[in-house]
Amino acid sequence: MREEKPEDHFWLPNGLLAVNPYGRHPVYDLISWAEKQWEEKLRRQSRTLEHAVGEYRHRYGRKPPKGFDKWWAYVERHNIQLPDEYDQILADLQMFYAYTPRSLRRLQALTRTTPATYTLSASSALGSIALATANLAEGSEREIGMIRAKAQLDILQGFGETWTDELTGEKTNVAREIVLATGDWEATFGAGDVPMEFADWELYNERRVRARAGQSESLVEAMDVFKRGDMTYLGWGGACPNSSPLRRSPPPPPPVPIPAPHPKTFIYSHRESMNPCTHPELVHTVGFLSGHYDRGPGPQEAHRLLFGMCKTEGLHGDVLTVASEMWTEDVGFDPAWENKTDERIVWRGSNTGILANPHTPWKASQRVRMVSVLNNRTGSQGVLRPMGESEPVGEPVLRRHSWLNSVLADVAFTREPIQCEAGACEEMREMFDWRGMRTQTELNEYKYILDVDGNGWSARFKRLLTTRSMLLKATIFPEWYMDKIQPWVHYVPLKMDFSDLYDVLTFFRGDVAKGGEGAHDHLAQKIAEAGRNWSLTMFRKEDMVAYQWRLFLEYGRLVSEDRENMNFDY
């Protein structure tokens, strides 16, 4: 009798896979699909400058910016992988083509006065990029802001690398090449951990439409750069299209703990899964979003062209830049996968993510829920069984939290409560078992390691991915490398409600009620090794420089008075 192939699952347009109980375990399909996507991305990359120019024109409908050839020489010299994957840059900057360069320079004059920012300037006379102003409050804001300004300059200066120009025979560097191609400009950066430029959908959509239409300068000028958007209070939904779930019918806060969806869902597109407009539950499960009273912030009167280290998908208009402070090569002693002594997932950290007080829903914020769920010893949880590759996965089966958490997880807050006010601090101290810090070497003994957003983006990602442990990541903040990494190949994406966490761990570790039956340790090891290799070959200082160089070639053309002649002709 011929064995029938399990049925497919449901791949939803919002980036989630909904489980079909008659299909095989969804993690098989998620890994298989992701590997094919990654192999195809690697295969189609440009190998020559000519091909790169053609691919650029195919993707973006215009010529590359002036200086593209010098950038490509750097790409070849440093073996930059995936040289075509810079869609994020054009996605962030494209709508500003709705304005003339003169209007954008007026906008920049306003932006540089924004509190909690610093501004870098490029000088064609000096052939360099330097700090121009720092609009930072005294104390920790200024201290951190100046550190981050220096870090941005380090990237734009190529971390001190110089070389001899083949044509002129003169010594040159990254900053000099950027300025030679783009001329004088200013760029203002947010100094904090979170995005600052909250979108107004109607205004931003008008920008996008005009930019796509490619109207003449006189018509573009008619769109006032200081035009105010709709000032009606819509909370976070004001950044979303009228038809989006968050704007049309914002959901009420869910109960805590959050019940698992039926059918169960898993992430296949991490970027799509981060968008609160299509995933409105995120405004209640992520502290950065839920920490705003009522439904979210009010509309912004002034919109700026502001660079930031992180942004949300759909809600914020910051231009994404590289955050160099997360880069490190040092991960401590890290045993090989087969020599790691603990097969549980580990996390240690602080209770950041939201200011805890009687007026905020801090018990629903991501880190508090994560530690609560993974230390619960009462009740049961429905978990998908780790079936064989040709068997239907079936419906979830109940497993007791006391089994799951003792066998699968070692998760705790460290030291004492922070970022809380009187009353909430005491309650939090009683809720959790506060433990001491773990060294990186101690954490490396675990096969599985968790990365979860705090107040903003996670600075741990590079370090954790470089270990030989398998990384599971829960975030709503896309970062500069998103076009260059593949979830389910290099790391495992987790939903912010953690409803998929036990299913993922059970698939790799095996069924806890049956002594680990059905474990897929070899697949976890494969992801761990692929993630480490990606970190060592595609998340180097040179890769960060290549992104920033490309970004500021694009930005320099955008704000140049001679924009139409700032193209590279092959």
Which residues on neighbouring strands pair with residue 491, listed in sequence order?
487
Q: Are residues 176 and 312 in the same domain?
A: yes
DSSP collapsed to 3 states, 202-217: HHHHHHHHHHHHCCCH
Q: Are residues 275 and 211 in the same domain?
A: no
Q: Are residues 262 and 197 in the same domain?
A: no
Q: Is 394 within a domain?
A: yes
Contact criterion met (CB below 8 Å) for 351 and 367: yes
Q: Are residues 246 and 318 in the same domain?
A: no
Residue linked to tokens 């440009």: 46
Q: Are residues 13 and 126 in the same domain?
A: no
List Cβ neighbours of 108 (8 Å cut-off, separation of 6 or more): 186, 187, 188, 305, 559
Look at 393 and 323; give whichever has higher pLDDT.
393
- The pLDDT of residue 220 is above 60: no
Q: Distance between terminal CA atoms of the chain?
A: 62
Quote the CA–CA distance of 107 and 217 in Å, as a whole number.
17
Q: Is 285 within a domain?
A: yes
Q: Are residues 145 and 270 in the same domain?
A: no
Contact criterion met (CB below 8 Å) for 317 and 307: no
pLDDT tens-digit series, residues 433-471: 999 999 999 999 999 999 999 998 888 999 999 999 999
Q: Is 55 within a domain?
A: no
List Cβ neighbours of 464 (8 Å cut-off, separation of 6 or more): 449, 451, 471
Most confident stretch, 38-42, 330-334, 452-456: 38-42
How many CB atoms lie under 10 A from the CB of residue 533?
A: 13
Which residues on neighbouring strands pair with residue 123, listed in sequence order?
128
Considering the chain, what is the average pLDDT of its residues? 93
What CATH code is carried by the domain that includes residue 437?
3.40.50.2000
**Nearest residue to 45 via CA among 90, 92, 80:** 80
**Nearest residue to 429 via CA among 420, 441, 437:** 420
Q: Helices (DSSP H) in 157-214: which residue ranges?
A: 174-182, 201-213
* b/e per residue 128-139 (b: at least 16 CB within 10 A): bbeebeebbeee
Q: What is the largest CA-CA distance in the chain?
A: 80
Quote the CA–CA distance of 316 and 378 in Å, as a whole number.
40
Quote the CA–CA distance of 107 and 395 in Å, as a whole number.
56
What are the structure tokens assigned to 22, written together? Answer: 């008659």
Q: Is 185 within a domain?
A: yes
**Nearest residue to 326 via CA among 82, 92, 540:** 540
**Nearest residue to 25 via CA among 284, 396, 482:** 396
Give the pLDDT of residue 216. 41
Q: pLDDT-based confidence at 5, cuts 50/70/90?
A: low
Give the pLDDT of residue 218. 43
How many CB atoms lie under 10 A from the CB of residue 569?
A: 9
Q: Are residues 97 and 182 in the same domain?
A: yes
Handedness of CA 518, 522, 524, 527 (dihedral sign): negative
Q: What is the residue-wise DSSP string for 357-406?
A: STTS-GGGSHHHHHHHHHT--SSEEEE-----TTS---S-EEEEHHHHHH
- The pLDDT of residue 271 is above 60: yes
- The pLDDT of residue 1 is above 50: no
Q: Is 53 within a domain?
A: no
Q: At residue 66, what is the residue type? A: K
Q: Are residues 70 and 208 in the same domain?
A: yes
Quote the CA–CA distance of 159 and 151 in Å, as a whole number.
9
Quote the CA–CA distance of 154 and 511 in Å, as a whole number.
48
Give the pLDDT of residue 293. 72
What are the structure tokens assigned to 59, written together? Answer: 């993707």
Give the pLDDT of residue 298. 83
List Cβ neighbours of 23 (8 Å cut-off, separation of 6 or more): 6, 7, 8, 9, 29, 392, 393
What are the structure tokens assigned to 523, written together? Answer: 């697949």
**Nearest residue to 480 via CA among 369, 321, 343, 329:** 321
DSSP collapsed to 3 states, 266-332: EECCHHHHCCCCCCCCHHHHCHHHHCCCCCCCCCCCCCCCEEECCCCCCCECCEECCCHHHCCCCCC
- The pLDDT of residue 219 is above 80: no
Give the pLDDT of residue 114. 95
Quote the CA–CA distance of 217 and 62 in Å, as a whole number.
17
- The pLDDT of residue 26 is above 90: yes
Contact criterion met (CB below 8 Å) for 536 and 545: no
Q: Is 51 within a domain?
A: no
Give the pLDDT of residue 217. 47
Q: Is 19 within a domain?
A: yes
Give the pLDDT of residue 139. 95
pLDDT tens-digit series, residues 470-500: 999 999 999 999 999 999 999 999 999 999 9
Contact criterion met (CB below 8 Å) for 369 and 258: yes
Domain, as residue range, for 398: 1-45+242-298+328-538
Q: Are residues 279 and 401 in the same domain?
A: yes
Q: How many domains does the chain have?
A: 2
Average pLDDT over residues 102-127: 95
Q: Are residues 406 and 551 in the same domain?
A: no
Q: Are residues 132 and 247 in the same domain?
A: no
What are the structure tokens assigned to 472, written together? Answer: 């599971």
Give the pLDDT of residue 200. 87
- The pLDDT of residue 214 is above 90: no
Q: What is the residue-wise DSSP string for 76-95?
A: HHTT-S-TT--HHHHHHHGG
Number of H helices, E strands in the chain: 21, 17
Quote the CA–CA distance of 187 and 555 in Å, as a whole number.
9
pTM of the entire predicted model = 0.95
Average pLDDT over residues 297-326: 89
Quote the CA–CA distance of 326 and 425 in Å, as a whole number.
29
Q: pLDDT-based confidence at 222, cuts 50/70/90?
A: very low
Q: Are residues 273 and 348 in the same domain?
A: yes
Q: Is 73 within a domain?
A: yes
**Nearest residue to 152 via CA among 132, 181, 124:** 132
Give the pLDDT of residue 283. 95
Handedness of CA 164, 186, 75, 331 (dihedral sign): positive
Contact criterion met (CB below 8 Å) for 285 and 258: yes
Which residues on neighbouring strands pair with residue 345, listed in sequence order?
409, 448
CA dihedral 471→257→271→274, nearest 10 degrees, is -140
What are the structure tokens assigned to 261, written together? Answer: 């969806």
